[in-house]
Structure 1
Amino acid sequence: MQWLDEHCDVLSKMWENLSEHLFYDANSKLDSSYHKLREAAVALQVFAIWVPESVPRAERLSVALKQADLFYEQIIQQRKQVHLVDTKSQLKKCSQNRMGAILTMEGADALQGELENLRLFFRLGVRQLGLTWNYANEAADGIEEDRNGGLTLFGKKLIAEMERLGIILDVSHLSVRGFWEVIGTNLPILASHSNCLSITPHKRNLDDEQIRAIINKQGLIGITFVPSFVCQPSHKATVDHILRHIEHVCSLGGENHLCFGSDFDGIENKIKNLRNYKEIYHLKNALLQHYPESMVKKWAWDNGFEFYLKHLPS
């Protein structure tokens, strides 16, 4: 069974300390290193460009470009064992033996309020973008902003340009008001790494109405392995708790809209027996104990593949 992972933070880890986080190193400290992904039969990995809030505004574009450069130099070009997926034809080439990689941006901070920077990253292969991380930027408020603001004027222009270019919108981390403003647009929508608020009351999770809205938009919901999103208190989170979120999305009609977004390399605390992709078999076994293999295969691969097959450019 092959897997598609909607979100990892390998690029920011490599940017912070490349010597300790080499993607192809057999002893890499990365949760989502090449060898771990290959062992887990990951056929498509989404790599996020993420610029920490601590980076001064004037340097954010530069940091994002450095992460894009690492993506190409250290992952795509170095050994040519992972190929860029920016079109339908490249998506169809993905397999357990030929891993694909989608480049995405977690937050529009690096755009610095300029649409030409969006076009620049599109030309660099970015096909998916989340407007915010947790806090406010030029485009919108993030989920941690108490004022719960929506899209700014630039954010609305950004959405229009994303529609023109054909960029997928990721609503994970976006404020609730922002979510409801973008759900009515023509953009394809996914939540790359978010769970269910009614199961675990963390503000980064989605409430039932948001989940239904994504389902109605024919979008995707990437169940994530972040312990505090899976269970509270987070130290008690187990693989079985993940199944509760899956079951809840299914109860809302989301069986064909589920996938996984690990957030590996973006989290310090891990769920027992799910600390990196070498341990994904624990989740696979738990799923197969409760659901038919055909259904598990949909969540691991088919739903995400069909979504990208519909929305990536030809």
Structure 2
Amino acid sequence: MMQVFDGHNDILSRMWSAGVDPVAQFSKPGMHVNAPEARAGGFAGGFFALYSPQRRAPFDFRGFRGGAMPLSSAIGQPEALQSVIAQLGIAQQLAHAGQIRLCTGARDIEAAMDEAVPAALLHLEGAECIDRELYTLDALHASGLRSLGPVWSRPTIWGDGVPFGYDQDGDTGPGLTADGKRLVARCAELGMVVDTSHLTMKGFWQIGEMGLPLVATHSNAFDICPVTRNLTGAQLRAIGESGGMVGLNYATVFLSPEGWKTGRATLDDCLRQLDAMIEGAGEDHVGLGSDFDGAPLPEGMESCADLPALVAAMERHGFGAELVRKLCHGNWLDFLRRHLGG
């Protein structure tokens, strides 16, 4: 079975928001990512997001299907830190129970894959929990954090995110602030991945100008679905030219115009997105970035157990064995070897 390591899931924040016992919840089907369905579907792990919600409830796309959703209001640093620390604790509990393996580099991930334990690379989705002095960043890095997105789709002291909107690209406002550039520079010093997903187009180009590889862990092609969260052809080309990565987001609302309007999409829509992403960034710079447990999924994909259906669709589409391997895990692992080492 083809193993899949992908760029984004929200299982930690979903379990925290739901108030469940994480070890018990992860041991059974129910949420998109769980231990038995990971084994069944070849889910080998990925970037596990730490995210601070506006309120303690799972994020719900239904409120803006077919319309638009403005930027969320800002959230305070202490409040954000509380939820991030709680989710970090959930990750530790899952690791102590042997249900995931916390990883800080490619060798760790490969070892976990060899042992069929989901590999978890910790990612901070929106840096509201970090103080201006950046002490919290160093503390989280010491706790295993290796990837960070400066913003989610709301304003922070670090920069501006994009609203969720249709028929408009990500050029929706300012990018990184001066503090945001300091944050990104410190991430670079620590050797962390910096994720441009949710960042405005201006912020995307600012990160490129700072010399970092351009990474969008869970974003799609704007030319296929004209949504603010998706990337233009120029952005995709820049990702490839910088040696970066882009991960296919399975969220129906970002896959196709029909998906935005109705919340329904198909695996064929995933393939059309992959074609455009490969054409733009190049086949060595595209992977998967499911957004499991954070987004509505296309038909035929109810959880990580259904990953073989996506792999089979790639094969029917004419993707050769080597390209399928690259998309499913090879490109992400190659990137992480270059930028995180062990």
TM-score tier (shorter)? over 0.9
Q: Would the aligned equivalents of 1:49 and 1:103 in 2 still touch at CA under 8 Å?
A: yes
Instruction: Select which of 77, 80, 84 maps to 2:102.
Output: 84
Secondary structure of the equivalent of 1:43? Answer: strand
Q: 1:22 to 1:40 in 2, by over 3 A?
A: same
Q: Would the aligned equivalents of 2:250 and 2:270 in 1 still touch at CA under 8 Å?
A: yes
Q: 1:20 to 1:85 in 2, by over 3 A?
A: closer
* TM-score calculated relative to the size of structure 2: 0.86
Distance 2:248 2:314 in 1: 13
Q: Structure 1 residue 167: deviation in Å?
A: 0.8
Q: Which residue of 2 aligns with 1:94?
A: 112
Instruction: Select which of 326, 331, 336 maps to 1:298.
Output: 326
Aligned amino acid, residue 188 of structure 1 = P
Aligned amino acid, residue 225 of structure 2 = T
Secondary structure of the equivalent of 2:119? Answer: strand
Between 210-219 and 45-54, the greater mean CA deviation after superposition? 45-54
Instruction: Select which of 195, 220, 224 maps to 2:245.
Output: 220
Distance 1:70 1:124 in 2: 13
Q: Which residue of 1 aligns with 2:51?
A: 50
Q: Which residue of 2 aligns with 1:115?
A: 134
Q: Structure 1 residue 303: deviation in Å?
A: 0.5
Q: 1:250 to 1:87 in 2, by over 3 A?
A: closer
Q: Structure 1 residue 81: deviation in Å?
A: 4.1
Q: Which residue of 1 aligns with 2:312?
A: 285
- Residue 276 (str. 1) matches residue 282 (str. 2): no
Secondary structure of the equivalent of 1:157? Answer: helix
Q: Which residue of 2 aligns with 1:68?
A: 88
Identity percentage of aligned residues: 30
Distance 2:4 2:14 in 1: 22
Q: 1:110 to 1:255 in 2, by over 3 A?
A: same
Between 249-258 and 199-208, the greater mean CA deviation after superposition? 249-258
Q: Which residue of 2 aligns with 1:262?
A: 290
Distance 1:195 1:302 in 2: 19
Q: Would the aligned equivalents of 1:5 and 1:46 in 2 still touch at CA under 8 Å?
A: yes
- Residue 309 (str. 1) matches residue 328 (str. 2): no
Between 284-293 and 55-64, the greater mean CA deviation after superposition? 55-64
Structure 1 stretches of 4+ with a deviation exceeding 6 A read: none
Q: Would the aligned equivalents of 2:239 and 2:281 in 1 still touch at CA under 8 Å?
A: no
Instruction: Select which of 197, 208, 216 maps to 1:191.
Output: 216
Unaligned runs of 5+ in 2: 57-74, 165-170
Between 258-267 and 12-21, the greater mean CA deviation after superposition? 12-21
Q: Which residue of 1 aligns with 2:72?
A: none
Q: Structure 1 residue 231: deviation in Å?
A: 1.1
Q: Would the aligned equivalents of 1:7 and 1:264 in 2 still touch at CA under 8 Å?
A: yes
Q: Structure 1 residue 302: deviation in Å?
A: 0.6
Secondary structure of the equivalent of 2:45? Answer: strand
Q: Which residue of 1 aligns with 2:32?
A: 31
Q: Structure 1 residue 298: deviation in Å?
A: 0.9
Distance 1:116 1:144 in 2: 29
Distance 2:110 2:122 in 1: 16
Distance 2:188 2:140 in 1: 15
Distance 1:35 1:185 in 2: 42
* TM-score calculated relative to the size of structure 1: 0.93
Q: Structure 1 residue 50: deviation in Å?
A: 0.4
Q: Which residue of 2 aligns with 1:180?
A: 205
Residues 96-150 of structure 1: CA deviation (Å, up to 9, x unaligned): 5233110010011111433111111101100000010011101000012985111
Aligned amino acid, residue 64 of structure 1 = V
Q: Would the aligned equivalents of 2:122 and 2:145 in 1 still touch at CA under 8 Å?
A: yes
Q: Which residue of 2 aligns with 1:12?
A: 13
Q: Which residue of 1 aligns with 2:227?
A: 202
Two-structure CA RMSD over aligned residues (Å)? 1.9
Between 134-143 and 82-91, the greater mean CA deviation after superposition? 82-91
Q: Which residue of 2 aligns with 1:59?
A: 79
